Amino acid sequence: MPKTPKPLTTTLSQAIHEFVRDGDSVALEGFTHLIPFAAGYEIIRQRKRNLTLIRMTPDLIYDQLEPAPENLRVLRELKQRTEIAHAAD
């Protein structure tokens, strides 16, 4: 008898628990209405620690995760490049 396949869907809480480990590098991507606020809030709620947050553009979720008590490391170079590009416009 064949094995029952594992479900291909999960909750956001379970996905963060299963796939985001302390010390990981995490990229949360999306623009305007697609910014993954719920994923960012779930990372904070689960108190993931020592993460390197990767964002292609700075935005509100970036600002909320940066000062989180879990002391996230942030790749500031991408943020600075974006700010320089916007200042040149």
Average pLDDT over residues 2-23: 90
Assess whether pLDDT exceeds 70 at residue 37.
yes
Q: Taking the model in full, what pTM does it have? A: 0.63
Q: Predicted confidence band at 15 (pLDDT cuts at 50, 70, 90)?
A: very high
Stronger pLDDT, 49 or 12, i.e. the higher one: 12
Q: For residues 6-41, b (16+ Cβ closer than 10 Å) or e, as one string?
A: eeeeeeeeeebeeeeeeeeebebeeeeeebeeebbe
Delimit the domains of the chain by residue range. 21-88
Query: How many angstroms separate the CA atoms of 57 and 63, rounded?
Result: 11
pLDDT at residue 52 in the model: 81
pLDDT at residue 18 in the model: 95
